[in-house]
């Protein structure tokens, strides 16, 4: 998943500004009866729109849900509040929307309130919302086995996961296995974006080739418990460690590796740089060792220069002048520096407020004009524990400690994680480590998500039918199969 796509940041901002609240008594009543997918056609001011509602239990048994804007390319957002009151479901959704629903004759019937407008709604149960099936998305009867798991992270958070096992799982044959680690944002186990299920496609291909794959919903997302809003980089690392440990305990697994995309590539390197295998040490916060690692569009540089470079490319695509670029770069540097250095959230937000107040009219105009191209310059993200911890990571230090076999791939047309600069930094660090078991490559014509692209701009992601280019799938498969 891209490190800062506007859609990802929109969802991230939404989730950071309003923590989800759930009724602890709800599972005994209407909420539990309402689990599943529901669809309605809503009429507001002579406009009709199809909306979807999905409710489900998380790994710890608490309820969670999403709203889906079917007529807006199936964009989804997490419900912010789910409460049962007097046989009614009270649901707070995005953009200050509220649904009051009651089960009547098998439908969820009630009212939508948003921005002073009330509209009657009637949701009926459906099997799917009719999302377009991308050519590579796995479907139908699959030639391997899937097991649903609950993984317990170091702090007790329950993560919901899927483990795909090759058919050899029925025999005594051993197989290699990998954990997939997400990029930035509220990612589900499939790392879904624009109808593309990136991790589902990767897992499907690898499992067909005899490799087991474990993928999980990020904490606080979909069926995983915990708080996405309050997560840090250390939390993400602990979750990946727990997933690796789960594979280590699987009797037919031979070698265990990790595949990280974007920010996940740095987390994969950090895991690979560690070597604890003792269950006792793991329980005390140590990391289980991995036998190999794969970085897909992972960073070799600190996050701050990565974000600065991405902002510049976004502005160039939008036609910004050199003067506007200079202003955005200057303000962005000051903004990120405050987030990086101020650990206390109150002090951090105060300093950011003072920065914004000090800007000239021209500087404020530039930031307003290019707000869509500068999504990481938001107070909501700045206030998150993730932002402070992410800006204080040092990927080069982790890469210098990687001794296991590593495959490092970046896309030539990646406009979010520049392939040339990041591959160069990773190469330098790995040479310093003395690791001679490394493959590094920049794959021609591929973007941040490893689709065959025209310009590599984020706006192209949804227009490309391909989810992952075959060359990427082949390179990763061959590397894992070589690990004996």
417-464 tens-digit pLDDT: 999 999 999 999 999 989 999 999 999 999 999 999 999 998 899 999
What is the secondary structure of 418-448 as a DSSP string? -HHHHHHHHHHHHHHHT---EEEEEETTB-T
Please report, for residues 97, 159, 229, 376, the alpha-carbon distance to residue 80 in angstroms, rounded to integers and kept in the order given: 10, 19, 11, 22
Q: What is the pLDDT of residue 215?
A: 98
Identical fold for domains 18-126 and 145-301+393-481, yes or no, is no
pLDDT tops 70 at residue 7: no
Domain-wise residue ranges, the chain? 18-126, 145-301+393-481, 303-390
Phi, psi of 181 (to 5 degrees): -115, 125
Phi, psi of 477 (to 5 degrees): -60, -50
Nearest to 195 by CA among 136, 152, 155: 136
Instruction: Tell me the pTM.
Output: 0.86
For the segment 382-404, the average pLDDT, to the nearest whole number, is 92
pLDDT digits (tens, 9 = 90+) for 121-139: 999 999 999 888 899 999 9
Please report, for residues 79, 90, 106, 201, the alpha-carbon distance to residue 56 in angstroms, rounded to integers and kept in the order given: 11, 15, 17, 24
For the segment 294-301, the average pLDDT, to the nearest whole number, is 96
pLDDT digits (tens, 9 = 90+) for 234-288: 999 999 999 999 999 998 999 999 999 999 999 999 999 976 444 445 445 555 5
Nearest to 330 by CA among 300, 374, 381: 374
Report whether CATH 2.40.128.20 matches the domain 18-126: yes
In angstroms, what is the C-alpha Rg of the chain? 23
**The CATH number of the domain covering residues in 145-301+393-481:** 3.40.50.1820
Residues 6+ apart with CB under 8 A from 121: 40, 42, 51, 99, 101, 108, 109, 110, 111, 112
pLDDT tops 80 at residue 53: yes
Arithmetic mean of pLDDT over the chain: 89
User: What percent of the chain clears pLDDT 70, i.e. is strictly above it?
Assistant: 91
For the segment 146-158, the average pLDDT, to the nearest whole number, is 96
Q: What is the pLDDT of residue 281?
A: 52
pLDDT digits (tens, 9 = 90+) for 361-373: 999 999 999 998 8
């Amino acid at each position: 998943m891209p490190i800062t796509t506007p859609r990802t940041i929109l969802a991230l901002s939404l989730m950071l500004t309003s923590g989800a609240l759930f009724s602890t008594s709800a599972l005994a009543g209407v909420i539990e009866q309402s689990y599943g997918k529901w669809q309605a056609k809503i009429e507001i001011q002579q406009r009709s729109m199809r909306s979807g509602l999905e409710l489900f239990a998380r790994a710890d048994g608490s309820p969670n849900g999403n709203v889906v804007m079917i007529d807006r390319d199936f964009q989804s957002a997490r419900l912010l509040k789910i409460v049962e009151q007097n046989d009614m479901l009270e649901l707070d959704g995005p953009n200050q929307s509220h649904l009051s629903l009651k089960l009547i004759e098998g439908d969820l019937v009630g009212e939508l309130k948003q921005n002073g407008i009330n509209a009657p709604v009637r949701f009926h149960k459906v099997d799917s919302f009719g999302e377009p099936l991308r050519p590579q998305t796995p479907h139908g009867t699959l030639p391997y086995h899937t097991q649903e798991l609950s993984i317990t992270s170091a702090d007790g958070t329950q993560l919901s996961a899927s483990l795909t096992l090759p058919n050899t799982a029925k025999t005594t044959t051993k197989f290699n296995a990998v954990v997939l680690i997400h990029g930035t944002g509220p990612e589900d186990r499939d790392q879904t974006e624009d109808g593309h299920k990136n991790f589902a496609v990767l897992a499907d291909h690898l499992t067909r080739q005899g490799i087991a794959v474990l993928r999980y919903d990020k904490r606080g997302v979909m069926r995983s418990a915990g708080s996405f809003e309050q997560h840090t980089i250390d939390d993400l690392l602990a979750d990946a460690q727990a997933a690796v440990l789960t594979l280590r305990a699987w009797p037919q697994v031979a070698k265990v590796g990790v595949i990280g995309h974007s920010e996940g590539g740095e987390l994969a390197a950090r895991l690979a740089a560690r070597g604890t295998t003792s269950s006792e040490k793991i329980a005390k916060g140590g990391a289980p060792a991995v036998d190999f690692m794969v970085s897909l569009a992972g960073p070799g540089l600190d996050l701050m220069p990565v974000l600065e470079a991405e902002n510049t490319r976004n502005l160039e695509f939008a036609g910004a002048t050199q003067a506007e670029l200079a202003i955005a770069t200057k303000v962005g540097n000051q903004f990120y520096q405050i987030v990086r250095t101020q650990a206390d959230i109150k002090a951090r937000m105060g300093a950011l407020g003072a920065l914004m107040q000090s800007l000239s009219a021209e500087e404020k105009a530039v930031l307003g004009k290019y707000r869509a191209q500068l999504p990481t310059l938001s107070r909501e993200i700045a206030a998150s524990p993730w932002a402070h911890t992410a800006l204080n990571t040092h990927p080069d230090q982790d890469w210098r400690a990687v001794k296991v076999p590593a495959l490092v791939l970046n896309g030539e047309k990646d406009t979010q994680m520049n392939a040339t600069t990041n591959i160069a930094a990773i190469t330098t660090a790995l040479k310093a480590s003395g690791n001679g078991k490394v493959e590094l490559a920049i794959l021609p014509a591929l973007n941040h998500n490893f689709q065959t692209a025209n310009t590599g701009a984020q706006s192209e992601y949804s227009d490309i039918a391909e989810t992952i280019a075959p060359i990427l799938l082949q390179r990763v498969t061959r590397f894992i199969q070589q690990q004996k």
